[in-house]
A and B are shown apart, each in its own frame.
Chain A
Amino acid sequence: MDQLTNTLRGDGIALSFGGIKVLKGLDVEFRAGEITGLIGPNGAGKTSLFNCLTGAYRPQHGSITYAGTSLDGLPPAARASKGIVRSFQHVALCPDLSVRENVMIGVARNYSAGWASAFLPLSAGRKERQDMATAADRVLADLGLADSADLMPSELPPGTQRLVEIARAIVGKPSVLLLDEPAAGLNNSETRDLMKVLRKLASTDLVLVVVEHDMDLVMSICDRIYVLNFGEFVAVGTPEEVRGNEDVVRIYLGSDDDE
């Protein structure tokens, strides 16, 4: 598939709350086949940009397109139906559902058994649930969580809960995957497993964007990095280019002068 065809673009995205400009006319291009990092200090606007891309926020200016089709005005659920999914900075699993069921929700949009199947013992509903459970179990096994499938989220440590959320995001084979701090709360071993999973996920069919504070993770898996500060991009480039950018070193990574 043409890499540029499956591109998530934002042109001149501007967002304000009251008089505070959170995003100042950003131009972004997230390409399929790449892992793109979005980094910046707390409050830089990373999650706000995710919220604009997924439809949770409506930017006052600018437009967003995916594969050449405008997403402007589409609510989050409609964007999800186009395969644009995300994970959350704060884990958003349902405490009333088991781990497997939480992951099954990630694939629910691909099924359509009717309301009668929801209430009555009909074969369509049984098959749907079985298929969803099989898909969830496969992804949980890939992430090393097969043994946790029947547990409730509250029985898992925070790092594992985050992995479950990632499982929910990837189980539906999304076309755009926006991960908001996926490594937060993970230990070193879990972070390494996550990096393997993300590398495995990267394909020409998937736009993969990662907001993350773990610089080792970002620098080692990302093909391209956007650096955001006070709602503006201060640098865009490969990890090597970003690492060598003086503004980034000064603003984000800190410099000798600041010490």
Chain B
Amino acid sequence: MTQRLQDIAASSIASWIPVAILAALPFIVGGSWTFTLGLCFANSIGVLAVSFLVRYGGEVSIGHTFFTALGAYAVGVLDTRFGLSLWASVPLALVLGVSLGIAFAWPSRNLHGIYLAVTTLALALAVPEMINNLDWITGGYEGLYVSTPLVPGVEMGLQRYYLGLAMLVAVAAAVARFRLSRQGMTLLLAKTHPAAADAFGTRRVWARIAVMGISGGIGALCGATLAFSGSTVSPGGFTFWQAIFLLVGSVVSFYGLSLFRVLIGGAFVTLVPQLLSASGAWIPVFYGLSLLGMILLGHYLPRIQKTLARRKGGA
């Protein structure tokens, strides 16, 4: 027990070190990096939403831009049409994400694997068209500009950065706490042994709906953060490819739910395309190679670490 508590304490400290470094970054790096990192934090939340579905539901989504769009437009519409800040729009985004996650999960509750994944694809394909057709409220192709400050009087660039960081830390902490809860444990059992979960009072249908609702809610929080940190909301941010990139980020982070893991996924989704932007037509090739490199590194890293530790021990 003592060893386990020590491990938990060490893990907690390890999580706070990157947070402290990221909190200090705006005072070290330039404005463009601050902006990009704000987007990275938002995308990390999106990666977390997809990974949550994998870890707790055993399912894959290629349509989570549906939920990120919900959150982003909740922020954009309340900001531009009603002048309301995130204090009002983030709760709305969360409610919309959870509600529509549940609404999606109910009819698809008996679908699994590739069938569910393709169903989520339908969501992803529908999103940009829905946004364009509802242009009277979404602004259509032109999109919306989010300018209402969260804290009046504080420089907006810093707000956009720190809001992203705070949201990421809060969501990652909430998900870490959820893992220890009664509901979290029963959902994990329902994923691996649905019959056993049923036998102990957790209906598998309830489990499926709950996981999709939570994942949708986290996805909407990703969108809300993207809208504020990125300052604009437009259909181009919620395409099918964006949904694929969130899944790629989840895979690169090995479906991890810790702050560090989702930051890796979010950084891959946000930073790699930017770093490769000067490569012209080679961008897809280099992106693919980067993806392959990350997967292989993640796969072989534990073995490499073991080998190095053995050599160190033998020396």
Interface residues of A (CB under 8 A from B): 54-56, 75-77, 80-81, 85-86, 88, 92-97, 101-102, 104-106, 108-109, 111, 113, 115, 117-121, 125, 128-129, 132, 149-150, 168, 172
- The answer to whether B199 touches A150, judged by C-beta atoms less than 8 angstroms apart, is no
Binds A, one of B24-32, B60-68, B83-91, B200-208: B200-208
- The answer to whether A118 touches B185, judged by C-beta atoms less than 8 angstroms apart, is no
Binds A, one of B13-21, B173-181, B289-297: B173-181
Interface residue? B138 (CB, 8 A): no
- The answer to whether A119 touches B186, judged by C-beta atoms less than 8 angstroms apart, is no
CA of A253 to CA of B193 in the docked complex: distance in angstroms? 34
Which residue of the partner chain, among B181, B192, B206, contacts A129 with CB atoms under 8 Å? B181
CA of A81 to CA of B185 in the docked complex: distance in angstroms? 17
Which residue of the partner chain, among B177, B192, B201, contacts A109 with CB atoms under 8 Å? B201
14 cross-chain CB contacts under 8 A: A94-B185, A94-B196, A105-B185, A105-B189, A108-B182, A108-B186, A118-B181, A118-B183, A125-B181, A128-B182, A129-B180, A149-B1, A150-B3, A168-B200
Interface residue? B195 (CB, 8 A): yes
Interface residue? B311 (CB, 8 A): no
A119 CB to nearest chain B CB (Å): 4
Supposing A115-B183, A118-B182 touch, asked if A109 and B200 sit within 8 A by C-beta, the answer is yes
Which residues of chain B (211-248) have a CB below 8 Å from chain A?
Answer: none
Interface centre among B175, B200, B202 (most CB of A within 10 A): B200
Report chain A residues within 8 Å CB of B3.
150
- The answer to whether A94 touches B188, judged by C-beta atoms less than 8 angstroms apart, is yes
Given A56-B199, A108-B200, A150-B1, 6 further pairs, Cβ under 8 A: A85-B199, A92-B192, A92-B193, A96-B192, A106-B200, A111-B182
- The answer to whether A77 touches B202, judged by C-beta atoms less than 8 angstroms apart, is yes
Q: What size tier do the contact residues of chain B reach?
A: 20 to 34
Interface residue? B4 (CB, 8 A): yes
CA of A81 to CA of B200 in the docked complex: distance in angstroms? 8
Report chain B residues within 8 Å CB of A111.
182
- The answer to whether A118 touches B177, judged by C-beta atoms less than 8 angstroms apart, is yes
User: Across the A-B interface, how many residue pairs have beta carbons closer than 8 Å?
Assistant: 96
- The answer to whether A120 touches B174, judged by C-beta atoms less than 8 angstroms apart, is yes
Report chain B residues within 8 Å CB of A105.
185-186, 189, 200
Which residue of the partner chain, among A56, A88, A106, A118, contacts B184 with CB atoms under 8 Å? A118
Which 10 pairs of residues, A with B, have the shortest CB-CB distance?
A: A109-B201, A118-B181, A92-B196, A76-B198, A80-B201, A92-B193, A119-B174, A77-B203, A94-B189, A118-B183
Report chain B residues within 8 Å CB of A101.
185
Minimal Cβ-Cβ distance residue in B for A165: B196
Minimal Cβ-Cβ distance residue in A for B206: A77
A75 CB to nearest chain B CB (Å): 7
CA of A83 to CA of B52 in the docked complex: distance in angstroms? 31
Minimal Cβ-Cβ distance residue in A for B180: A129
Report chain B residues within 8 Å CB of A121.
177
CA of A113 to CA of B177 in the docked complex: distance in angstroms? 14
Report chain B residues within 8 Å CB of A109.
200-201
A182 CB to nearest chain B CB (Å): 15
Report chain A residues within 8 Å CB of B186.
105, 108
Supposing A80-B198, A150-B1 touch, asked if A132 and B182 sit within 8 A by C-beta, the answer is yes
CA of A88 to CA of B196 in the docked complex: distance in angstroms? 8
